């Protein structure tokens, strides 16, 4: 299990859709290598004080070359072409990582070899710090990390064996084993983190989809709540909402508004004569004509109740609402509604028109349009009455 974990390729090496580019950006960063170089240079203080200038210069040259290579790699990675393949940069990182391991191991081995115990202890301590730092990022690049640790350890062991210090071998083996276990733990934790993030993304996506469906369902409910099932027009509730909204526009945005109340003449007689199915069809035919008449206009048609319809005209058509209503009345009078036994029936409507005033509210404009509708019925039906048409004295108040 340990070897299987450490044999894993770099995260994202097989799936370029995850965040491997971000991981590589962390791995190519030169900052940790500058810190490691400073730490190793600190170990040259004692040799320098002892006059071992050749050893210090050699270590300095090795570290300078290592930092230069990492700096070039970092620069090239940050300025890579968008068309570059991930595998290319994975391979480059592996090579640069191996060179870093060789440089660190060689520098530490030089400092360890033929040095006083104090210098050797410092070199070993710095080496331990470097490999532990590398192990802490093992979840990003298990193979490269393990290779760097083994390379550094191998160089130090060679230096120790040359001096007959064989006890370093089992110590380093145990230490590498400890680091390997630590790396496996890190990799396992990161795998769990990635799995948790994927589950979270799935849940978030599912929640977003549910919210979208809920929003659509609420919108459908809202439409159903304000839509008349028979005609497909707004129902009384929808009409009331539209009237409030359009009156507000009329008052605040100076958008003229006219209300047409339309009543199908003698609808009860039509039902009794031709049947309720023909009556339903009659209402549907009127609704279809209203929809056709206002298409392209800033207007709303609604079934006001029973055989009554309401039309809200806003904008440039509102001042000419009387003419609009009379044209509408004439078009309806030309309709033939399918009735029983293949027959067809005519129908007419009476219309009351009220143009909104500055002091109008919902009740006042509806009340005025209703009085004009009553006047149209009193005038014999199949006609229009409104602000610009004569009214009987008993309905003018």
Catalytic residues: 307
Phi, psi of 281 (to 5 degrees): -65, -35
User: Which uninterrupted H or E stretch holds 62?
Assistant: helix 53-78
Cα 219 to Cα 217: distance, rounded to the nearest angstrom: 5
Three-state DSSP state, 327 = helix
Record the tokens describing residue 352, joined without a space: 């009351």
Pair of tokens at residue 8? 């894993």
* Tokens representing residue 123 in the block: 């070199």
Please give the Cα distance from 396 to 394 (Å, whole number). Answer: 6
Among 249, 248, 396, 279, residue whose Cα is nearest residue 345: 279
Q: Which residues pair with 308 in a beta bridge?
A: 263, 305
CA atoms within 13 A on the CB side of 78: 10
Q: If DSSP codes are grouped into helix, strand and coil, which group holds residue 163?
A: coil
Phi, psi of 304 (to 5 degrees): -75, -30
Token pair recorded at residue 68 = 């230069």
Q: How far apart are CA 171 and CA 155, in angstroms?
A: 14
Burial of 8 from C-beta contacts in 10 A (0-12 / 13-18 / 19+)? middle
172 CB-near residues (< 8 Å, 6+ apart): 153, 156, 157
d(CA 112, CA 119) in angstroms, rounded, equals: 7
**DSSP 8-state secondary structure symbol assigned to residue 296:** T
């Amino acid at each position: 299990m340990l070897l299987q974990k450490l044999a894993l390729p770099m995260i994202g090496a097989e799936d370029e859709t995850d965040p491997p580019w971000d991981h590589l950006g962390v791995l190519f960063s030169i900052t940790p290598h500058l810190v490691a170089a400073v730490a190793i240079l600190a170990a040259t203080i004692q040799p320098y004080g002892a006059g071992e200038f050749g050893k210090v210069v050699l270590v300095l040259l090795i570290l300078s070359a290592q930092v230069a290579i990492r700096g070039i790699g970092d620069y090239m990675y940050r300025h890579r072409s968008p068309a570059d393949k991930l595998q290319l940069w994975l391979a480059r990182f592996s090579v640069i990582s191996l060179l870093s391991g060789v440089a660190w191991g060689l520098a530490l081995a030089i400092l360890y070899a033929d040095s006083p115990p104090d210098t050797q202890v410092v070199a070993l301590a710095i080496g331990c710090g470097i490999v532990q730092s590398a192990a802490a990022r093992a979840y990003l690049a298990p193979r490269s990390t393990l290779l760097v640790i083994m390379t550094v350890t191998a160089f130090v062991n060679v230096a120790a064996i040359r001096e007959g210090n064989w006890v370093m071998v089992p110590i380093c083996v145990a230490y590498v084993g400890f680091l390997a276990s630590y790396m496996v733990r890190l990799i396992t934790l990161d795998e769990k983190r990635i799995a948790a993030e994927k589950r979270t993304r799935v849940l978030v996506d599912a929640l977003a989809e549910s919210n979208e469906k809920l929003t659509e369902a609420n919108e459908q409910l809202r439409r159903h709540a304000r839509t008349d099932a028979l005609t497909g027009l707004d129902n009384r509730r929808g009409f009331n909402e539209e009237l409030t909204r359009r009156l507000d526009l009329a008052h605040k945005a100076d958008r003229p508004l006219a209300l047409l109340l339309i009543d199908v003449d003698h609808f009860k007689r039509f039902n009794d004569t031709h049947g309720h199915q023909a009556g339903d069809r009659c209402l549907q035919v009127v609704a279809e004509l209203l929809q056709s008449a206002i298409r392209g206009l800033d207007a709303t048609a609604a079934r006001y109740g029973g055989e009554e319809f309401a039309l809200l005209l806003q904008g440039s058509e509102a001042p000419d609402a009387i003419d609009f209503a009379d044209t509408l009345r004439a078009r309806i009078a030309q309709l033939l509604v399918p009735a029983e036994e293949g027959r067809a029936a005519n129908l007419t409507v009476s219309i009351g028109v009220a143009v909104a005033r500055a002091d109008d509210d919902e009740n006042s404009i509806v009340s005025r349009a209703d009085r004009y509708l009553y006047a149209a019925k009193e005038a014999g039906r199949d006609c229009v009455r409104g602000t610009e048409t004569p009214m009987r004295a008993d309905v003018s108040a």
